[in-house]
Amino acid sequence: MNAAGRRAPSLETAAAWLLALLWLSPLLYAFWAAFHPAEYATRLELLAPLSVDNFAKAWTYAPFPRHFLNTVMLVTMILAAQLVLCTLAGYAFARFEFAGRDIAFGLVLVQLLIMPEVLIVENYRIMSRLGLVDTLLGIGLPYMASAFGIFLLRQTFKTVPRELEDAARVEGCTFLGVLWRVYVPLARPTYLAYGLVSVSYHWNNFLWPLIVTNSIETRPLTVGLAIFGAPESGVDWGVISAGTLMAVSPLLVAFLLFQRQFMQSFMQAGIK
């Protein structure tokens, strides 16, 4: 940390600000196009009239509320399952000695590189056989056992001092009891961090949901946005921008309100 509090030279400041402005420009443009009538989408005249027509139109073109609901359900379902499964597995790897543990852990880590997205052909076939095509469960199942989550929790659990576990044992706790009473509460920061990372990732996931779903009742926001953004009759900038903004606003607003937490989570996850 720069304890000295030295001010950076102003040329650098200007450069940093310029980059920030550049970085924000696509989003700024989207706001511009969404809030102005169609003719002004390509003309950046400052005194152009504002309108919310685009939002009204976008609202009828794609069922955003339904997509939003689907996404919320999907993300919640995945996170809940991940929390349970990864806790159990992380606990197993951290505190139990069993035959083949290291090999098993290696196999788990394979998923960090070979994600479900890469195996779309085969996974689709599996879902088809399980009858889970076009269901939320079908989207979420491949992700529920998250190698990243297992890895994070294993690291976290390993740092818990054994004395706490022993103390709980003395009081007569079972293994699961120890997990619940001792390990889980101490891993709360990790859970929070992981939760934010997982929610962000699955909120924005596209390829696998696209393949598995084909109806409004199951499609999440990203897929809805893609279909909305590429119709056969051509695009209308104002409407596309409005629709895009509507689709990204929940996560964007959450991010703006909880910036610090978001970034801390990603940082924490990265350090491990």
Partner 1 sequence: MKHVYGWLLLTPAAILLVGFTHYPAAATLFDSLFSTGTGVRPSRFVGLANYAALTDDPIFWQVLGNNAWFALGTIPSSMAIAMLMAIWVNDRLPGRALARMAYFTPTVLPMIAVANLWLFFYTPQIGLLDQIGALFGAASHNWLGDPDTVLACTMVMVIWKEAGFFMIFYLAALQSLPPELEEAAKIEGASRWYFFRRVTFPLLMPTTLFVMVNATINSFKLVDHLFILTKGGPDNASSLLLYYIYQVAFSFFDTSYASTLTVVLLVLLASLAVVQFQLVERRVHYR
Partner 2 sequence: MRPLLALLLAGLLAAAAPARADTELTFYYPIAVGGPLTKVIDGLARDFEKEHPGIKVNPIYAGNYDDARIKALAALKAGQPAQISVLYSIDLYELLEQGVILPWDDVATAADEKAWLKAFYPSLMMNGIYKGKVYGIPFQRSTIVMYWNKDAFKEAGLDPDKAPANWNEMAQMAAKLVKKDARGNVQRWGVMVPSTGYPYWMFQAFARQNGHDLMNPEGNRTNYGHPDVIAALQYWRDLGAKHKVMPQGTVEWGTLRQEFTEGKTAMMWHTTGNLTAVKNTAKFPFGVAMLPASKQRGSPTGGGNFYLFKKTTPEERKASLAFVKWMTTPERAADWSIATGYVAVRPEAYETPKLKEYAAGFPQAVVARDQFKYATAELATFQTGRVRKLLDDAIQAALTGQKTPAAALKAAQGEAERLLKPYR
- Residues 38-77 touching partner 2, rule: CB under 8 A, are 38-39, 41-42, 60-61
Binding partner selected for residue 257 from partner 2, partner 1, none, CB under the kind-specific 5 to 8 Å limit: none
| Shorter beta-carbon distance to partner 2: residue 137 or 251 | 137
Q: For residues 166 and 105, is the Cβ–Cβ distance under 8 A?
A: no
Query: Mask 193-232, x = binds partner 2 (CB under 8 A)?
Result: ---------------------xxx----------x--xxx
Distance CA 37, CA 55 (A): 10
Place of tokens 């909120």: 203
CB of 113 to partner 1, least distance (A): 5
Q: Does 2 bind partner 2 (CB under 8 A)?
A: no
Binding partner selected for residue 162 from partner 2, partner 1, none, CB under the kind-specific 5 to 8 Å limit: none
With helix as H, strand as E and coil as C, how does 240-259 read? HHHHHHHHHHHHHHHHHHCH
Site residue total, partner 2 (CB under 8 A): 22
Distance CA 51, CA 153 (A): 49
Binding partner selected for residue 267 from partner 2, partner 1, none, CB under the kind-specific 5 to 8 Å limit: partner 1
CB of 179 to partner 1, least distance (A): 9
Site for partner 2 in 73-132 (CB under 8 A): 128, 131
The two tokens of residue 183 are 């390990």
Within 13 Å, how many C-alpha atoms sit on residue 98's CB side?
A: 10
CB within 8 A of 54, min separation 6: which ones?
Answer: 33, 34, 35, 37, 38, 238, 239, 241, 242
Distance CA 218, CA 109 (A): 30
| Shorter beta-carbon distance to partner 1: residue 59 or 255 | 255
Q: Does 10 bind partner 2 (CB under 8 A)?
A: no
Q: For residues 159 and 183, is the Cβ–Cβ distance under 8 A?
A: no
Binding partner selected for residue 39 from partner 1, partner 2, none, CB under the kind-specific 5 to 8 Å limit: partner 2
Instruction: List, as one string, the DSSP characters of 162-199.
Output: HHHHHHHHHTT--HHHHIIIIIHHHTHHHHHHHHHHHH
| Shorter beta-carbon distance to partner 2: residue 80 or 235 | 235
* Site residues, partner 2 (CB under 8 A): 38-39, 41-42, 60-61, 128, 131, 133-134, 214-216, 227, 230-237
